[in-house]
Structure 1
Amino acid sequence: MPAPGPDAVGGKRPVATVPSLPGAAAARYAAALDWAAAQPRQVTRGAKDAQVYQAAAPSVVLVLAGDGFGSGALISADGKIVTNLHVVGDAKEVGVVFKPAAEGASFGKADVRRAKVLRRDEVADLALLQVSEVPAGAKPLPLAASGAVQVGSDVHAIGHPTGQAWTYTRGIVSQVRKDYGWRTEMGLDHKATVVQTQTPINPGNSGGPLLDDNLEIIGINSFKSDGEGLNFAVSADDVRTFLTLKEDRRANRSAGARAVSAGSECEAVALKEWAVSDPKGLGYLIDVNCDAEGDFVMIEPAKKSEPHTYLFDHDGDGKIDAEITDLGRDGNFDEALLDVDGDGTYDLVGQFKPGESDPYRYERIK
């Protein structure tokens, strides 16, 4: 498996723009790998999903703040609830509704409980609420242990997308991204470790829990990015840090974090460049999202007849585990190789249709 050069990590200043790097291909890499990561998993759906929903749904609340709404997760028996800051805004009190006992039952004003906003974190986009009483059947959801999230593992989300109360969705963890920056409609720049998932979320899911199979919170569903299946949850580690704060944490409004998204208007640049011997050519450490950190390695052979190759460390372990080839050097992916089990050998080969970022077919390599 090809590997980056010895200097292919870190870096703060671009050394060159890369005119030959197709911007569309660079921006599409995440979608292709997300799809690929899901393929080798074979999971029996149905009974387990129902169990997760039935056990966790009573602990997921509907948060009503002004004209808006979102979701929240009960984290303590005395009525503390975690949600997103952008759900509650500047409100000192919000309304909270616990799930009715009967599935699909309607609820009204009498079901709305007052919740005090105890604390805000503008950096991680989190807020802590307090209700005075918790209904029977609503048990606190524990936070997952630090480092418990595994790329490719199943995750579950419960929330209220576009007002469809207590909706359950399921997906996989695509990646865990540290020091990730984004911006909400409040105009604040946020930064946190986020869990990237394919789990479908929409407005109204914000503030709700992203759960593992053990019913532990691995993140708080917070935002989605441009592109297919790019959904993000603030990590349980950041939630745990937030809960230790004694006062509100304010964002740095002067510097802030640069918003990051696959579709951001940002010129791909090479942070580092080095000679490659096999094939003879150049290797580039590419920053595609303007955060001054390398996102992947591009190999550009000296011979124009040889393809561009993109190398990715998809699970963040410091080893190359995915390779995508652009045979025509035209910005269209042609073949993807994926190391599923991390043993240094590719397990899957995928083929792309012209202009598409997701492989239409993946086969195991025998």
Structure 2
Amino acid sequence: MHQNVNTAGLTAGIIAIILSGCWMTAQAQNSPSPRNLPNVPNVSPNPVAPAPVTEGRVAPEPSGSSVYARSVRSVVYIECQKSGKSAGGFLGAGSIIAESGLILTNAHVIEGSDRCFAVLKPEGKVSIGKDTPILALHVRAVDPTKDLALVSLVSPPAGLKPLPIGSLKDVEVGQTVHAIGHPRGILWSYTNGVVSQIREKEQLAPSFVADVVQTQAPISQGNSGGPLISSTGALVGVNTFSRRDAQNLNFAVAVNEVQAFLQRASRGEHQVTAPSRSAKAENGQAQESEEKCEPRTLEERPSKKVPGKIVVMDIGCTGRANAALLTPDDPEKDRILYVSTRAPERGAEPYYDVRYYINPRSDKVSRSWHDVDSDGRPDFLGIHKDGGRRPVSFVAFTTAIGD
């Protein structure tokens, strides 16, 4: 029986993610004035001319090998690290979009990290050796609702090759698109597929709504943030999601969202309001949080629905009840951490819109569910394959599940 459970580490780590926008970074805030964002590229659409017609035939599309050779030097390997109780890291990909060292990636690649680094593809090989330069990154702008982030190399080398940014007008259902990334750490891997559909305002996870390109080009962990490339060699999307409950359902944030994000960033929006942790690391500053916050127990009471105990808590030092941990009397049943990510109306009870199911034997998160529209029914199931506090992917619910 788990009557005396140390919930501080678990709940503090989870709420750091959930209260900062579920699984996306909380560092992005709209800033009223720009913070010297340099050299944001011109993202005006550049229409690609149709293939020339010769003797009544359309010239064939460039081969995948030529697209790869043309684009691979523009794709970087990104690794972000965390310290403390939630030590770990996340790997992904990014696209160089300016000679000044600006890189486009996913927000979820960098979120919650203490420091991030990039590696350029070494000449003539696809491995990282002892002599391979590891380049520090600085976070410039983040938009969690589009899962887009703009970072820059702290010390950009000369000769960077930007990837051209294309136009959504040049993306059609049925055409071949290409992807370069690092699936499961297998560096600078190439794949391709056809465009299955272009979908507007798609909600594929909590707090994410964007136009997306649905494609058959496979996406695995390590591909996140990498480019979806047209046969003309232009970026037409940022590879972001893959549905795990089906085959060949992969999604990239569409290039029109990328264009709008970069334009907003150039105006000073979505920029990080405080120096990023990676920048602090460069300056040799401590990585400790200025203010430590521990979960505080507000009330303990018996559970009405499931025999057991409920501990109501304030996690995140909000001054209100925003979480509750159910510990069943049956030691074989999951403990459930209920979390309220939105402040209730004055005088109203909190609504717990996220639930984490914690395996009693491993003390790790087995799954989570997320109610986006507060109707009492889950909209997304969080998949926690590694037992970590952040879902590695989401699956859309079609029916509600019980407690």
Instruction: Please name the residue that 2:74 is paired with.
Output: 59
- CA deviation string 1:108-146 (max 9, x = no partner): 475110110101101001110011454455411121123
Q: 1:262 to 1:101 in 2, by over 3 A?
A: closer
Equivalent of 2:254, from 235, 239, 249?
A: 235
Which gives a bigger RCO, structure 1 or 2 (Cα 8 Å, sep 6+)?
1
In structure 1, what is the Cα distance between the partners aligned to 2:168 and 2:177? 16
Q: Give the letter aligned to residue 69 of structure 2.
A: Q
Question: Which residues of 2 match residues 255-266 of structure 1 at below 5 A?
Answer: 259=380, 264-266=396-398
TM-superposed deviation, 1:55:
1.1
Cα offset, 1:107, TM superposition? 2.7
Decide whether aligned partners of structure 1 residues 68 and 237 sit closer, same or farther in structure 2, where only a CA change above 3 A counts: same
- Tell me if structure 1 keeps the 8 A contact 2:119–2:135: yes
SS of aligned partner of 2:67: helix
Q: Does the 8 A contact of 1:79 with 1:131 survive in 2?
A: yes
Q: Which of 157, 182, 187 lines up with 2:179 in the alignment?
A: 157
Question: Match for 2:238 among 209, 220, 238?
Answer: 220
Q: How far is 1:259 from its partner?
A: 4.7
Correspondence for 2:93 among 71, 77, 82: 71
Deviation at 1:90, TM superposition (A): 2.7
For residues 165 and 44 of structure 1, the distance between their equivalents in structure 2, rounded to whole angstroms, comes to: 29
1:265 & 1:242 partners in 2: Cα distance?
Answer: 29
For residues 1-366 of structure 1, the aligned pairs below 5 Å read: 48-66=63-81, 67-91=89-113, 93-108=115-130, 110-135=132-157, 138-183=160-205, 188-225=206-243, 226-245=245-264, 246-248=268-270, 254=342, 259=380, 264-266=396-398
Tell me if the contact between 1:123 and 1:249 (Cα under 8 Å) persists in the aligned partners: no
Cα deviation, residue 247, structure 1: 2.6
Deviation at residue 267 of structure 1 after TM alignment: 5.2
Q: Is the 8 A contact 2:166 2:234 kept in 1?
A: yes
Matches of 1:160 and 1:177, distance apart in 2:
26
Shift of 1:195: 0.4
**Equivalent residue pairs, number:** 220
Aligned residue type for 1:163: G
Query: What is the percent sequence identity of the aligned residues?
Result: 36
In structure 2, the gaps of 5 or more residues are: 1-58, 82-88, 273-340, 343-370, 374-378, 382-392
Q: CA deviation at 1:93?
A: 4.0
**Equivalent pair of 1:78/1:133 in contact (CA under 8 Å):** no
Per-residue CA distance 1:132-165 (angstroms, 9 max, x = gap)? 4544554111211232210001000000000000
CA RMSD of aligned residues (A): 2.9
State the shift of 1:264 in Å.
3.0
- Which TM-score applies when normalising by structure 1? 0.55
Preserved contact between residue 82 and residue 129 of structure 1 (Cα < 8 Å):
yes
SS in 2 for 1:242: helix
Task: Give the structure 1 partner of residue 311 of structure 2.
Answer: none
Task: Give the AA of the match of 1:60.
Answer: V
Any idea what the Cα deviations from partners look like across 1:250-290, whole Å, max 9, x if unmatched? 9xx6595755999633259xxxxxxxxxxxxxxxxxxxxxx
Distance in 2 (CA, whole Å) between partners of 1:210 and 1:91 is 25
Cα distance in 2 for partners of 1:134, 1:126 equals 21
Q: CA deviation at 1:76?
A: 0.9
Q: Distance in 2 between matches of 1:224 and 1:109?
A: 34
1:120 and 1:210 map into 2 onto residues whose CA distance is 19
Whole-Å separation in 2 of the counterparts to 1:137 and 1:157:
23
Deviations along 1:184-238, one digit per CA (max 9) or x if unpaired, are xxxx520100000000111100000000011111100001012000000001111
Greater CA deviation, 197-206 or 238-247?
A: 238-247
Compared CA separation, residues 264 and 93, structure 1 to 2 (3 A): closer
Gaps of 5+ in 1: 1-42, 269-366
**In structure 2, do the counterparts of structure 1 residues 152 and 77 end up closer, same or farther at CA, with 3 Å as the change threshold?**
same
